[in-house]
Amino acid sequence: MLEGVPLPAGKAELVAYARAQDASVARDLEGLPDEEFDRLDAVGELLTLVPTRPREGARPPLPESGKPPGGPDYLTPNPTDTGLVRHSAPRQNPPQKAIEQAAMTRKKQKAAQGG
């Protein structure tokens, strides 16, 4: 947006030129220090360092949805129920059946590896 502005130029001149081009860009330039700029690269470098004001109408971040995976133990360094069988397991897949399936899978993998 500043391409074509006569240089060297001060902050006020840059803001005025940008406002004539695009008012939203001018707001970003208002955070620049009051000094004279002899090249646009210097302005670009400072713009990456200067925090800009939030745009008008910007939406706030959405709240997180639901509980984190693992429930309250998500933030517990040493949870007490790690590896326990959950009582909420589906009836068609009881814990004993799941253990047997895992044992059979391990045996097949071991046989496939030649061990």
* pTM listed for this prediction: 0.42
> Which candidate, 76, 7, 57, 58, places its Cα nearest to that of 36?
7
> Cα–Cα distance between 20 and 56 in angstroms, integer?
19
Phi and psi of 37, rounded to 5°?
A: -110, 130
Residue 105 CA from chain centroid, whole number: 38
What confidence score (pLDDT) does residue 69 get? 65
More confident residue, 115 or 15: 15
Give the pair of three-digit tokens for residue 46.
């400072």
**E strands present in the chain:** 9-10, 36-37
pLDDT digits (tens, 9 = 90+) for 24-79: 778 878 878 888 988 888 888 887 775 666 667 767 767 766 666 666 666 777 76
Per-position DSSP letters for 6-75, written without gaps between them: -SSEEHHHHHHHHHHH-HHHHHHHTTS-SSEES-HHHHHHHHHHSPPPPPTTPPPPPPPPSPPTTGGGGG
Whether pLDDT at 104 is above 80: yes
More confident residue, 26 or 107: 107
